[in-house]
């Protein structure tokens, strides 16, 4: 299992553990975001340390919102921001 597959698998496990809503290709067919909203880009370096994942998913928990997976990228929408 390569690093990216391990990362995605771990994200799914933590999402399940924290009971956060996740929207992925099993639930939706296509995701589009409006370009006029503010976008915050976070590039996280995963070195087998799940605290990075927990920190990012903590945003969804804090803002009481969902996590959206498009291809191999995860998004957290909130108000006029997209993390």
21-80 pLDDT, tens per residue? 888 877 776 666 666 666 677 777 777 778 888 888 888 888 888 888 888 888 888 777
Is residue 12 within 8 A of residue 25, CB to CB? The reply is no
Q: State residue 48's pLDDT score.
A: 76
- Return the domain boundaries, the chain: 3-82
CA 51 distance to own-chain centroid:
14
Provide the strand spans (E) within the chain.
Answer: 22-23, 38-39, 67-70, 73-75, 77-78, 81-82
- Looking at residue 32, what is its pLDDT? 67
Task: Look at residue 1 in the predicted model and tell me its pLDDT.
Answer: 67
Structure tokens that stand for 32 in this block: 């589009």
Integer Cα distance of 67 and 22 in angstroms: 5
Copy the structure tokens of residue 27.
């639930």
Model confidence pLDDT, tens digit, residues 3-37 = 788 888 888 999 999 899 888 877 776 666 666 66
């Amino acid at each position: 299992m390569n690093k990216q597959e391990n990362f995605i698998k771990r994200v799914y496990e933590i999402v399940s553990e924290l009971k956060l809503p996740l929207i992925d290709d099993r639930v939706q067919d296509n995701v589009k975001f409006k370009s006029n909203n503010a976008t915050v880009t976070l590039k996280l370096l995963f070195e087998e340390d799940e605290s990075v994942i927990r920190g990012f998913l903590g945003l969804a928990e804090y803002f009481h919102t969902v996590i959206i997976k498009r291809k191999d990228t995860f998004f957290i929408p909130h108000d006029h921001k997209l993390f």
